[in-house]
Structure formats: C-alpha cells, structure tokens
Chain A
C-alpha cells in the first residue's frame, strides 16, 4: 500500500524548534520529488517547501525561508522538515506529499494525513 506517515508535531513555544519526519512506503521513494504543505485551522492550503528526487534542489515559501530546512534520506525512505524560530502563524497541520515525477514542481500525488504543529506560549 502506498503510504506517507508524518510524525514529530507537537506544542512548542514561540522561537522554539521542531523536526518533522515523513516515512514513505509502497513506492520507489527516490524516484520522486517531495513537498511539505500546511493548513492552518479553518484555512486553506499553503505550500511550504519542496525537494527534488536526490536532494540537490530545494525551494521554500517566502514565509518560511531562512527558518525552515527540508531534507531527505533516500536510504531510509524519509523526508524531513527542520523548523526553527517558530512563530504563532506557523501553527498548522503539516502534510507531506509526493510529487508526480522527480521535481517538486509537479502535482502533489500522494498525501499523508498530517502532523499538527501548535506554536503557543
């Protein structure tokens, strides 16, 4: 079964850090680009970051550039998002998604159920 399972969310204070993980199974992970997409409670989807199949190309939304870092470990079929200097506006459900093709600019094909990040004092 094709599956993406996120973990690592939780409650953190403003200025704190969290590392999200996404475990992939059921498909050839290193053939595909991967992305993180978030959704604040009651709000729409927001693209956060993407990485190509071998980790050689990454992209970030302006809202997280310089604070978040995306990475992947193809040997472990895993995607990561290191989040530093967290702000209240980063509170959201964070989904990982695989892209159609090796680039993160293609459509988001498979989605995980998400992990919740809450930034609050």
Chain B
C-alpha cells in the first residue's frame, strides 16, 4: 500500500493553469476509474473536488478538471485564483480492496 506519487509543490500566477500529477500502478490508478481529488486548506477538513477520474460534485467550480492516462491521473486548475492556494491529494481504490492517498501537493498562487 505505497502512497501514490504527487509533486511536493506546484505554483502559478493568478489566471494561469496548473496541473498536478498523481502516479500509481496498474493495481490502483491504472486499473480502476475510482480516482478522486481533494482540496485541503490549513486547519480544515478535506473537500472532494473530483470523483471517478473526471466528475465534479455539485458546487465545485468548473475551473477544476480531472483526467487519467495509464497509471497517472491529473488534476488541472484553470484560471488560478488566490483561494485555490491549498494542499491537494489524490486517492484511488486498489486491487487489495483498500484505498490509498497520494503524497500531497502544495499549490501556491504567486
């Protein structure tokens, strides 16, 4: 149950687009469409942003989008805004009938 691999940090200027990667294996990310993404502001509970690879829950801005290719999933934030500065985590179902989170990415808005 090794954590999925994410970059430690990603930054961008307001209005720009950034992409966060989430790399796993064929036993998790690559094998199932149960990939989800979470946003966490300091001292707050995580918030679901994307589920089942590319679906947005009601109320989540369409500036957030998800995709997957092979063993790597990606979260793209377009039109970056100051309030997007937070930690982001991916998660996937695994072939061991468990869930696994990514290592987390800190997004900084310059």
- Chain A positions within 8 Å of B, measured between CB atoms, are 35, 37, 44-47, 50, 59-63, 95, 100, 104-109, 111-114
Contacts and interface: CB of A to CB of B under 8 A. Distances in A.
Enumerate the 5 nearest inter-chain pairs by beta-carbon distance, A residue then B residue, closest first: A107-B51, A107-B36, A111-B45, A44-B104, A47-B99
Contacts, number: 65
B1 to A, nearest CB: 5
A111 B89 CA distance: 14
Contacts of A109: 48, 51, 57
Interface size class of B (residues with CB under 8 A): 20 to 34
A106 B34 contact: yes
A63 B101 CA distance: 14
Contact of B98 (A44, A45, A60, A95): A60
B46 interface: yes
